[in-house]
Amino acid sequence: MSEGYPQRDGFLQRALGVARGMPGVTGAEPLTSEFGMNVQIGERTSTVFLENLYRELERMPPDEIEEGVRQFLGHLFQEPAGSGARSRTALRLVLRPLSMSSSLQHAREHGGQGGPAETWLAEPFAPHLAAVLVEDRPTAIAYANRATLAELGLTTRDALAVARANLAALASEGLEEFQLPCGARAFRVEQVDGYEPSRLLIHGWLAAFEGRVAGRPVAIVPHTGLLVVTGDADPAAIGELLGIALQAVQRTNRWISPAPYTIDRQGAVVPYQLAPEQPNAAMVGACHVYLANFDYESQREGLQGVPSFRERGVELARFQVLVRPDDGRSYGFTEWSGGRPQLLPRADLLLVQVAGRPCFVPFTQAEALAGAAFAREPGLEPERVLARGTPDAGLLDRLAAVAIDLRGMPPAPQPAPRSPLGRVLWRIQNWMRGGRGDGRPQPG
């Protein structure tokens, strides 16, 4: 979506010029509701999204930008639909922030740009992460769509199963053992085959580290080229693991998640969480909150142009973050202001104004008290709740009765605090909210 970003408009025009000059291309036009273009090659039209490419090339000289676009398009178009080059063995899964695929799919199915054949295919994997279906091509990884499955004669469910089976063949490739500064044993897969974080999607892969690391296995997948695993027996190891994640996320535009993950009793991958009194608890919680912050804000941006929301007069509420000054704990919150219908993100807390006083209420309790005024909006991942009308005085009183004391903390971002932990949390918070001087973050 280039509207409001002059630099993106210039990049889009440069990309259109490159595309129109490529052999076999008979036309290229900008998309109306996405940051991308439709490229005509013979009788086939391909939709190209430019967000990731823009983030990779935006700071390069103009001639290098054009060459980067040319190489990208060359890789993208080298295996046209119907060429017979596609194979079921080429299907894989990659990890991506969930709203990248879900917002795009919802927008297209409700009047946005493109059609069902171009929709990315994905399934939720963990909170705010999706497993996205791709084709493994010789020089690029391409997102698969319904047209891909039609050629292969597969249903979406079968294709996802095939992709997982193909991915399992990579389970042990590129795994390297190393030692963290604290002395803890750790393993990593880094810049091997383009599917480094995808190993987390292989059933039982993370669970297999039980006994190889001290304590429960804990993994990070900070960007598209890195996966690190260690154990949580030593809090210092978790602190150092989080440090690796934070630095890796800040150094790349193709990030996935700053948050840590572990396994449940059945061996399934789940978010790694700690009790408030445990070491690293504030940092672990912050990583998960800021991932949710980015995912919901990315979803909100992606759904702004959906006609059905405009026709219903629906407002897409923001997911915001606040940090307690006493213990550094982070909370996600959203505000129910009443009036027009609002699609509220499922945050930790709901903010309501009671007699001019802000009250923060646990979201699950607020939802129970609101009753029929709240209803889940179908088809959205991450989930949103449709809040209708304005809370009456009685409901406000009931919400105020279960409000929690957050010591008057205002919404983030805030001035950089003095404590080392506070500074780290502030850096995550402002980076994930787009506070970097060189542009907004963009997942890989």
Asked if 299 contacts 99 with a C-beta cutoff of 8 angstroms, the reply is: yes
Go through 27-56 and write b for each residue having 16 or more CB atoms within 10 A of its CB, e for each that does not: ebebbebbbbbbbbbeeeebbbbbbbbbbb
Q: Is 339 left (phi over 0), alpha (psi -120 to 50) or beta?
A: left
Given its phi and psi angles, is residue 80 left (phi above 0), alpha (psi -120 to 50 degrees) or beta? Answer: beta
For the chain (444 residues), the mean pLDDT of every run of 10, in chain order, is 56 89 86 78 75 72 80 64 64 84 59 51 90 82 83 90 92 94 96 92 94 97 94 96 88 84 94 93 92 87 78 90 81 90 95 90 95 90 90 92 74 46 52 39 38
d(CA 118, CA 385): 27
Contact 101, 125 (CB under 8 A): no
pLDDT of residue 96: 85
**Helices and strands per DSSP (H, E), number in the chain:** 12, 21
What residues are paired with 37 via a beta bridge?
30, 48
On whether the CB atoms of residues 346 and 372 are closer than 8 A, the answer is no
At residue 35, the pLDDT reads 80
Which DSSP state fits 404?
A: B
pLDDT of residue 105: 60
Alpha carbon distance 31, 112 (integer Å): 10
The structural domains of the chain, with segments of one domain joined by +, span: 6-77, 88-168, 176-272, 291-419
**Which one, of 27, 10, 120, 111, lies nearest residue 66 by Cα?**
10
Per-residue model confidence (pLDDT) at position 422: 47
Q: How much helix, strand and coil, in percent to the nearest 5, is found in the chain?
A: 35, 25, 40
Quote the CA–CA distance of 236 and 385 in Å, as a whole number: 39
Contact 135, 90 (CB under 8 A): yes
Predicted confidence at residue 421, as pLDDT, reads: 44
